[in-house]
Structure 1
Amino acid sequence: MYSSNPLLLIVVIFLNSLLSFSQKSDLKFYEVFSTSKNSKVSCYRIPSIITTDKGTLIAAADERVLSCGDLKLNRDINIVIRTSNDEGKSWSSINRIINYPSGESASDPSMIFDRKMKQIYLFYNYMNLDKDKDSYYLKYITSLDNGLTWSKPIDITDQISKPEWKNDFKFITSGRGFQTQDGILLHCLVNLQKGTHIFGSNDHGKTWYITDTPISPGDESKIVELNDRSWLVNSRVNNKGIRYSHISKDQGKNWTTKPESKLIDPGCNASLIKYDYGNYIKSDLLLFSSINNQSERKEIAIRHSLNGGKTWSDPKLIYAGSAAYSSMTVLNNGDIGLLFEMDNYSKNVFTTFSLHWLMNDL
């Protein structure tokens, strides 16, 4: 039965149109890592995701067996991956690519895909809790076949750290690093006592170096290169309620730091990527996923910047519930993929959305 009140009828039609739009824009979440599928694992944490030149998605995470504790507190953390060849609709079985004996743990996966060498670098932090507790070792493995097989671990601690840092709380930031226009590999090393430093390789991983000038304030950080070849680092800073950005125009010798009052944050890892696809190749379009809450780890959202991080859009909410670390990648079809921790670290889920969806109806 229809109402005889025309105003009420207009309101009903309007609300129905809103409901229809909401349903069309709903995101689908695919469980990639979940404790519900493995009762022997306490939690899967610390997501990392990249897209290879063949369009394959490589998703990595910590498999924390005995507890959800971090590296220093956990005698059994493995690194696991899953791959997808259909833009994240289906995933391979879990592949445990780093699995040390009990008492030795690996944590905080991050990846770079080398466009020239067609090679995946997967970095992680290692600790032997029985023989060398409190000493963090910095390692990586590589794959030349889309993540099917992996090299033996390569220890680069001596190249990207300093002897006096041996017992400092230092680690390679999880998520992903960056490859510049000139092919240089760049990544972030956090030292909570000495500041964050950028490390990199000019020869596709044959040798590695670390910049001398520390970035501060900065905990877990992400780096991208802008079109003018300046470096932009976006950093987690605990107990501030916001993010901080750092710009270097001389490859890390000097830094200009700016508090990002619009990028609120409770003290949590985030993801920063450059969108190089279609009409935006050679642009400074940046995408940023983070927790849009100053006090709790919930409400994961995406922002974009059309000017290399000078200004940021309002947040586009992805999930309103409990969430934490995230990692983004651009798919071969131009859509954006997001892997993030959901529901009190019980699972890591993957979702996709188009750039049009992200940039419209904010």
Structure 2
Amino acid sequence: MKYFLSFFLLAATILKAQTPIPDRVNGLSQLDLFNVKMKSNVACYRIPALVVANNGDLIAAIDERGPSCADLKANDNINIVMRKSRDNGKTWTDIRTIVDYPLGKSASDPSFINDSKTGAIFMFYNYMDLIKEKDIYYLHVVKSMDNGESWSEPEDITSQISKPEWHGDFKFITSGKGTQTASGVLLHTLVNLKHGVFVFGSSDHGKTWFLRDTPLKPADESKIIELSDGSWMVNSRVNSPGMRYVHISKNQGKSWTSKPELALPDPACNAAIIRYKSKNINCLLFVNAESKDTRKNLSIKISYDEGKTWSKGKTIYAGSAAYSDLVVMKNGDIGLLFEKNEYSENVFLSFPFQWITN
């Protein structure tokens, strides 16, 4: 197994200026961070994730898939790679590999949690040995204590956040990101397509991990966020009927209430939800492919009442768009990375909060 764990060499960490693509996305300059033209023997880059480190550095991770663009159980060569920006997404380092297994073993679906209290960045992914244990999913995490410059050896946390009877089930950690509560608890979501979505997390800054054994249904890839009253809200992809579902727990995941969210049309696709806070604003931001049946029309919406209602929304890109992730950068602007044009591009763009409301 090959891991890039040492500190980046100074010459390699110098930010490389990127020229914005001449075409602009709804008036916003864009950078295609991961494209098959950048490296040989890559079929596609898929499943983007974004995180902001405690020092403000911006890290983008993604699947590097070859020789095909197939998902984990049908692809024996998926690695996870990253790029990094120290200037709010204006320039980026070269592509670097975080996890690289030998042919026959694959890692897929990166997702992040930044522990703002310790500075640790956790990157989760799903692992499979297609030679020895095809169709058996394992759940891994690596950690960086230096803002993404180096990463730990992988830790298999399957036994902590799964159940023995799920060994052969189709299960995976949702790509994109988890969250951290005001009290410091780390939270994320695990999908078991047979049993539902489950919340997992850590109360000791990632030393150990727990599973809340209360299934959420209907639900597929899901994002969790803490509301202002301490409740947990899970916003879920479902495979029908063309909208998101929302699940609320007022007792830290012991029980949930669930309802369809008619204000959030969705074509069964992963999405992103984050909290935006400034001096005068405290709201939720949600981005997805806003369509009931087609992965297109990437749009962003605002909720000023903790997800009870949502704004009409603003289109970011009307064409083909799929998975996406959002962050609030150190300069206060919003950063977005999304799959564009039938997964052929993975575009980063940024905008101030006021752009959404203009």
Q: Same fold (TM over 0.5)?
A: yes
Shift of 1:207: 0.7
Residue 287 of structure 2 aligns with which residue? 289
**2:344 maps to which residue?**
346
Q: Which residue does the alignment assign to 1:116?
A: 117
SS of residue matched to 2:196: coil
How much does 1:38 deviate? 2.0
Q: Match of 2:285, as an amino acid? A: L
Please state how far the C-alpha of 1:226 moved relative to its aligned partner.
0.8
Does structure 1 residue 279 correspond to structure 2 residue 280?
Answer: yes
- TM-score of the two chains, using structure 1 as the length reference: 0.91
How far 1:128 sits from its partner (Å)? Answer: 0.2
Aligned to 1:179: 180
Following TM superposition, by how much is the alpha carbon of 1:39 offset from its aligned partner in structure 2, in angstroms?
3.5
1:36 CA displacement: 2.0
Q: C-alpha separation between the residues in 1 aligned to 2:96 and 2:39?
A: 13
Work out the CA distance in 1 between the residues paired with 2:286 and 2:222.
12
- Write out aligned runs for 1:140-289 (5 A): 140-280=141-281, 283=282, 285-289=283-287
Shift of 1:134: 1.0
Tell me the distance in 2 between the aligned counterparts of 1:265 and 1:166.
Answer: 30
Matched residue, 1:330 = 328
Paired-residue identity, %: 57
Partners in 2 of 1:208 and 1:185 — Cα distance? Answer: 9
**Local SS of the residue matching 1:340:** strand
The residue type equivalent to 2:134 in the other structure is K
Aligned residue number for residue 87 of structure 2: 86
Is the contact made by 2:25 and 2:316 (CA closer than 8 Å) also made in structure 1? no
Q: Deviations over 1:246-298 (max 9, x none)?
A: 00000011111110112111110000111133333xx3x10001001111111
Give the 3-state SS of the residue equivalent to 2:280 in structure 1: helix
Equivalent-residue separation in structure 1 for 2:65 and 2:311 (angstroms)? 36
CA-CA distance at 1:25 after TM superposition: 6.6
CA distance in 2, matches of 1:48, 1:144: 18
**Aligned equivalent of 1:301:** 299
What is the CA RMSD across the aligned residues, in angstroms?
1.2
Structure 1 or 2: more strand by fraction: 2
**In 2: Cα distance, 1:144 partner to 1:324 partner:** 31
Change (3 A) 1:264 1:102: same
Deviations 1:331-358 (A, max 9, x none): 1111100000011111211011111111
Aligned-partner residue type, residue 354 of structure 1: P
Check 1:32–1:233 CA distance in 2 against 1; reply closer, same or farther (3 A cut). same
Structure 1 residues 295 and 278: CA distance shift in structure 2, 3 A: same
Native 8 Å contact 1:186 1:200 kept in 2: yes
Gaps of 5+ in 2: 1-23
Q: Per-residue displacement from partner, 1:187-208 (whole Å, max 9, x unpaired)?
A: 0000000110000000001111
